[in-house]
Amino acid sequence: MNTRLKSNSLIKTGKNGDLITEAHSLFGVKIHRTNYRSTVERILEWSSKGESRYICLANVHMIIEAYDSPKFKQILNQADLVTPDGKPLSWLLQSNQVCGRQLTLQLCQLAQERFIPVGFYGGKKQVLDNLVLKIQKRYPFLEIAYAYSPPFRALNLEEQNEVVERIKESGTKILFVGLGCPKQERWMNINKHQIPLVMLGIGGAFDVLSGAKACPPLWIQNIGLEWLFRLCLEPQRLWYRNLYHSLKFLILLVLLKSVNLIKASRTLLNL
């Protein structure tokens, strides 16, 4: 069982010495210590060059999905950037939290200023329509070049190829993907190098930014209880997922700390 939390020493700095990324491994999943500024600037740089990249925003749910599935873990580790979206991960990594909702708004603001076309893929049609309306109202000069709500089933090859061609034709440079975890990460992985743009898996941000679901108060976000806020709103849908993933994460974390404590004790005894 891989329960290590370690730095891979992949540290890069900007012109002013700002931290851009520092990669860590948590239960075998690569996560970067970063911040909004560094994340946004990197995405804008990639998009300006027409590079095909994808970014995952990790929370406890995603980490446990990866722990249970080696194939999904590989998908996360092949991502160009994995940020700590959940508060528990940001605490554990001693990193800034990079929340999907806030990241989306910051990117839309700068995309408007720099005339970068953006697109949205995923969500229910009504949710997507409302999301586009709200984003367009907030950023009136932002070019939303593409928006599509796919059917809630696997696309056949012809449909998938048509989606890829439509996205290419739209000229979109930054694509926000809201299919939910782990579906959106698999979709981005499959389409990397097929579409010359930057993809971000923002999942539930579609629902919140569209107004379909409530945004938790800032104080609840700051103390790491957004999961409880969501559970109270959707108990039937979330109770099992939260119970399973949260408990398993806590157990693995205790094991990790225990292993590290044993190793430290042995080191001291050998001194």
- The packing angle between helices 183-191 and 70-77, to 10°, is 60
Residue 86, Cα to own-chain centre: how many angstroms? 9
Place of tokens 């001194």: 271
Confidence at residue 65, expressed as pLDDT on a 0 to 100 scale: 96
Question: pLDDT 10s per residue in the chain (271 long)?
Answer: 444 444 333 334 344 334 456 788 999 999 999 999 999 999 999 999 999 999 999 999 999 999 999 999 999 999 999 999 988 899 888 889 999 999 999 999 999 999 999 999 999 999 999 999 999 999 999 999 999 999 988 899 999 999 999 999 999 999 999 999 999 999 999 999 999 999 999 988 999 999 988 777 787 777 777 777 777 777 777 777 778 888 898 899 888 877 665 565 555 555 5
At position 264, the amino acid (one-letter code) is A
pLDDT number for residue 150: 95
Q: pLDDT at position 261, please?
A: 58
User: Using an 8 Å Cβ cutoff, are 25 and 82 in contact?
Assistant: no
Its pTM surpasses 0.95: no
Q: Where are the beta strands (DSSP E) in 34-102?
A: 53-58, 81-84
- pLDDT tens, position by position, 63-74: 999 999 999 999
Confidence (pLDDT) at 270: 59
User: How big is the CA angle at 247 (ends 34 and 204), to the nearest 5 degrees?
Assistant: 50
| Bridge partners, 83 (sequence order) | 57
- Domain boundaries in the chain? 5-224, 228-269
Task: Compute the distance between CA of residue 190 and CA of residue 241 in angstroms, rounded to an integer.
Answer: 26
**pLDDT tens-digit profile of 78-136?**
999 999 998 889 988 888 999 999 999 999 999 999 999 999 999 999 999 999 999 99
pLDDT at 21: 62
Q: Are 23 and 7 in contact (CB under 8 A)?
A: yes
Q: What is the rounded CA–CA span in Å between residue 25 and residue 202?
A: 21
| 8 Å CB contact between 86 and 58 | yes
Report DSSP state, residue 156: P
> How many Å apart are CA 219 and CA 154, to the nearest integer?
39
What's residue 9's pLDDT?
A: 34
Instruction: For residue 143, give Cα distances in angstroms to 54, 120, 171, 194, 222.
Output: 21, 12, 10, 22, 32
Contact, 246 vs 231, CB < 8 A? no
For the chain, give the number of residues: 271
Token pair belonging to 171: 């000229």
Task: Identify which of 216, 184, 218 has the alpha carbon closest to the alpha carbon of residue 203.
Answer: 184
